[in-house]
Amino acid sequence: MQSSKHIYYLLASSTALTLALTACGDGDNGASADDGDDTGSGSGRQIELSVATFNEFGYEELLKEYEADNPGIKVTHVKADTADNARAALRNSLGANSGASDIEGMEVDWVVEFKQYPDKFADLADPEVEGRWFDWKTEAVTLEDGKLMGYGTDIGPEAICYRADLFEAAGLPTDREEVAELLEGSWENYFEVGKDFVANSDAAWYDSAGALWQGMINQIDYAYEDADGNIVAASNPEVRAIYDQVLQASVEDELSAGLALWSPDYTASFQKDEFATMLCPGWMLGIIEGNAAGVEGWDVANVFPGGGGVWGGSYLTVPAQGDNIEEATKLAKWLTAPEQQVKAFEAKGTFPSQLEALDSDVLLESTNAFFNDAPTGQIFVDRAEAVKAQPVKGPRYFDINTALQDAITRVDVDQTDDPESSWAKFVSAVEALG
């Protein structure tokens, strides 16, 4: 994901810090106004709110709009350089009961982990927002007692982004509808087309084995933990089969560019002709456009191997330690309203999770000039409708998936292990989780 200036998260270096369940601070998050009795805009008193996000939420212009419409509200936008650092910083600030922003973005893969600490978050349940999102989007952040821990921002239905100029040079079709037809079907078909491509090009077929892994594992209902919460990652034959398939294609068949996701080399690669395709959830559009600025040839095909797929998606939460919970909740509610999420999609491609937004003519007629004027609104509505199920992710999902990504990186990027030795290290890492 696109790197941004690392402003705030120097305290986030330790992901091993255990989240304390008891408050050990005074609750001052350092970002709110010192007159904590303010309860709303228009009071004549200045209120400062902070919004912590990662990657691209598309909020830059929206926050300016909110400030203009709400005199007395000043909003500071804090962007982490990576989602991992954002998660670690949130763990640290919740554990210390100090330092969290008034609004904290939360990636879907962390939700179950943080749901273990409901008292750390404000209850955002409100009749005004009932029915705003897909049911599954809301259910993921709803506790048994009805408490709503977050407002949905985006979801990540996946398409395939590709370099039409590299396709043409390798003798493949370039028209996005023809490319969609070419790549329709199974992962095996995607890899076979990739073999044809690399036989006629100096570029790799795709960017990263880690990215491929994420797309494929998100099509498994219970990958790492079963329905009873038991860790089955190391014994699940579906997990091992995908691991073998990804590394066969990436290393043996040389389809991967060998890049570590979100690394500096990964970011820089967009300015070169290193790969021709990549898995492309809506939020990836802004990242590609930012990293590949000045590079022509990018397009989007309305297709995804193996059926529908979803990668990522986020929420806005309001930590209970804040001094301006009411105003923070108002802002979070406004940012996640359908009309604002359509604007965020136009800005950075973050595809809305709000049902009303999906019927928006603005969304459906949206095109993206950087991607050869692709009808990205309609494409991602179609891709969202192709998603038939959501993978179930338990409390240890993040740790297990990180260990698996490490296993793939050792083979595809670092080349310090073969698939078998790296898998053995993954198994040991899973066993260490208890």
- Tokens (6 digits) for 220: 């498994």
Q: Are 262 and 1 in contact (CB under 8 A)?
A: yes
Q: Which residues of 59-80 are buried (b: 16+ CB within 10 A; e: fewer)?
A: beebbeebbeebebbebebbbb
pTM: 0.78
Asked whether the CA dihedral 221, 246, 257, 202 is positive or negative, the reply is negative
- Domain boundary assignment for the chain: 47-155+312-365, 156-310+388-432
Phi, psi for 138 (deg, rounded to 5) = -75, -40
Tokens 């999770």 correspond to what residue?
A: 353
- Which of 221, 160, 169 has the alpha carbon at shortest distance from 397? 221
For residue 32, give the 3-state DSSP assignment: coil
Long-range contacts of 223-227 (CB under 8 A, 24+ apart): 223/391, 224/393, 224/394, 224/396, 224/397, 224/400, 224/401, 225/392, 225/393, 225/394, 225/395, 225/396, 225/397, 225/400, 227/392
For residue 110, give the 3-state DSSP assignment: helix
Q: Are 17 and 95 in contact (CB under 8 A)?
A: yes
99: left (phi over 0), alpha (psi -120 to 50) or beta: left
For residue 120, give the 3-state DSSP assignment: helix
Say whether 156-310+388-432 and 47-155+312-365 share the same fold.
yes
**How many degrees, rounded to 5, is the angle at CA 295 between CA 292 and CA 297?**
110
Q: 96 vs 61, 92, 116, 326, CA distance in Å?
A: 32, 6, 16, 22
- Which of 196, 165, 154 has the alpha carbon at shortest distance from 335? 154
Radius of gyration of the chain (CA): 22
- Tokens (6 digits) for 250: 């990436």
- Output the CATH code of domain 47-155+312-365: 3.40.190.10
Say which CATH superfamily domain 156-310+388-432 falls into.
Answer: Periplasmic binding protein-like II (3.40.190.10)
Chain segment 32-87, per-residue pLDDT in tens:
333 334 444 455 679 999 999 998 899 999 999 999 999 999 999 999 988 889 99
- Which of 100, 48, 99, 45 has the alpha carbon at shortest distance from 75? 48
Q: Are 274 and 257 in contact (CB under 8 A)?
A: yes
SS (H, E, C) 361-374: HHHHCCCEHHHCCE
- Which residues does the chain have with pLDDT short of 70? 1-44, 389
Residues in the chain: 434
pLDDT of residue 420: 97
